[in-house]
Amino acid sequence: MSEQMRLDKCLAMLGIGSRSEVKQMIRRGLVSIDGIPAADPERKLDPEHSRIIVSGTEYVFKAERTVMLHKPAGVLTAARDKKQRTVMDLLPPMYTAMGCMPAGRLDKDTTGLLILTSNGTLAHRLIDPNKEVGKTYEARIDGCFTEADIAAFRSGLHIDDSDGVFDARPAKARILEQGDGSGSSLVEVRIAEGKYHQVKRMFAMRGYAVLALKRVRIGRLRLDPALEPGAYRELTQAEIGLMEQEDGE
Ligand code: URA
């Protein structure tokens, strides 16, 4: 049995409306709990085990929500922004109301796997550099990536650029498509930390510009190929567990 909660709070957390809007809905008889019309906004219920229907639509309450989003290019990874569209704008309001936040950050032009969760402990584990959760990217770069570049990534690059200085940890890289000298290459790279613009800066230190960057895995969890850019779905517990497993690929 989960905790008892006030009905108006529960409906607001489901993103159905503000506290005052949902109170109005309750008073207008639009809400039923377990088949019985609810008239009192202050009544208590066990939200995870109650059948909640508002205006004919059933809502499922879960204490925690974790979703995988296929982040498209052109949206900010932020909880909110005054001017620009953020990843939160791609989810129904319920997710904001339930406290979901991006766990980690992708640049505005980076696409791919982004996790949003209301579970602060999980978010912390995913972004904590000491936990070494591997993040795997596919980078389209201008030029011909070589075995010498792979070896340099593997030994740990010394980054020294206008954004600062640091020693990147050893990173595993693999060529998926080889450039022919004038063309571009597609390179898979796995890093276990998340410094500012890290992947782009690593390639830049080897003389390559990143033309497009996509995150494809976190730990062993892959971006669901059925998700179009901008689409999302909730994760199962098993999938959440995959994120903390070493990516053997
Ligand atoms: N590294 C980058 O340079 N950009 C990202 O968005 C993620 C990792």
In a domain, 185, yes or no: yes
Same-domain pairing of 35 and 146: no
Return the closest-CA partner of residue 132 out of 18, 219, 36, 7. Answer: 219
Same-domain pairing of 101 and 157: no
Q: Is the pLDDT of residue 247 over 70?
A: yes
Return the closest-CA partner of residue 186 out of 212, 207, 225, 220. Answer: 212
Q: How far is CA 75 from CA 35, 57, 83, 118, 140, in A?
A: 41, 30, 11, 20, 20
Q: Is the pLDDT of residue 193 over 80?
A: yes
Query: Are the CB atoms for 184 and 211 separated by under 8 Å?
Result: yes
Q: Which atom of ligand 1 is nearest to the CA of 110?
A: 6
Same-domain pairing of 144 and 182: yes
Query: Are the CB atoms for 133 and 126 separated by under 8 Å?
Result: yes
Report the CATH number at residue 235.
3.30.70.580
- Tell how far the Cα of 186 is from the centroid of ligand 1, in angstroms: 15
pLDDT tens for each residue of 195-222: 999 999 999 999 999 999 999 999 999 9
Q: Is the dihedral of CA 185, 186, 188, 191 positive or negative?
A: positive
In a domain, 231, yes or no: yes
Q: Which atom of ligand 1 is nearest to the CA of 135?
A: 8
Q: Is the pLDDT of residue 1 over 60?
A: no
In terms of residue numbers, what domain contains 232? Answer: 66-130+220-242
Give every strand in the sheet of 57-59, ordered side by side: 36-37, 31-33, 52-54, 57-59
In a domain, 248, yes or no: no
In a domain, 17, yes or no: yes
Q: Which residues have C-beta atoms less than 6 Å from ligand 1?
A: 106-107, 110, 197-200, 213
Same-domain pairing of 94 and 153: no
| pLDDT score recorded for residue 198 | 96
Residue 129: half-sphere exposure toward Cβ, Cα within 13 Å: 8
**Please, what is the average pLDDT of the chain?**
93
Same-domain pairing of 141 and 201: yes
- Tell how far the Cα of 197 is from the centroid of ligand 1, in angstroms: 4
Same-domain pairing of 13 and 55: yes
pLDDT tens for each residue of 63-113: 899 999 999 999 999 999 999 999 999 999 889 988 999 999 999 999 999
- Cα–Cα distance for residue pair 35/195, rounded to 1 Å: 51
140 Cα distance to chain centroid:
21
- Tell how far the Cα of 105 is from the centroid of ligand 1, in angstroms: 8
Strand intervals (E) in 72-227 = 101-102, 111-117, 135-142, 158-161, 164-167, 172-177, 184-191, 210-218, 221-222
Catalytic residue among 40, 46, 89, 107: 107
In a domain, 249, yes or no: no
Neighbouring C-beta atoms of residue 152, cutoff 10 Å: 17
Same-domain pairing of 144 and 202: yes
Q: Is the pLDDT of residue 136 over 90?
A: yes
Q: Is the dihedral of CA 118, 70, 106, 93 positive or negative?
A: negative
Same-domain pairing of 160 and 212: yes
| pLDDT score recorded for residue 15 | 85
Q: Which atom of ligand 1 is nearest to the CA of 194?
A: 8
Domain count, the chain: 3
- Cα–Cα distance for residue pair 21/223, rounded to 1 Å: 37
Name the DSSP class of 42.
T
Same-domain pairing of 120 and 165: no
- Tell how far the Cα of 189 is from the centroid of ligand 1, in angstroms: 11
Write out the H or E segment, with its range, that includes residue 65: none
Q: Is the pLDDT of residue 135 over 90?
A: yes
Tell me what the mean pLDDT of segment 31-57 comes to. 95
Tell me what the mean pLDDT of segment 17-34 comes to. 95
Same-domain pairing of 179 and 213: yes
Report the CATH number at residue 44.
3.10.290.10
* Percentage of the chain lying above the pLDDT 90 cut: 84
Same-domain pairing of 138 and 191: yes
In a domain, 247, yes or no: no
Same-domain pairing of 234 and 116: yes
For the question of residue 107 being annotated catalytic, the response is yes
Question: What phi and psi values does residue 216 have, to the nearest 5 degrees?
Answer: -110, -25
| pLDDT score recorded for residue 245 | 84
* Percentage of the chain lying above the pLDDT 70 cut: 98
In a domain, 92, yes or no: yes
Return the closest-CA partner of residue 246 out of 194, 172, 196, 177. Answer: 172
In a domain, 214, yes or no: yes
Nearest protein Cα to ligand 1, atom 2: 197
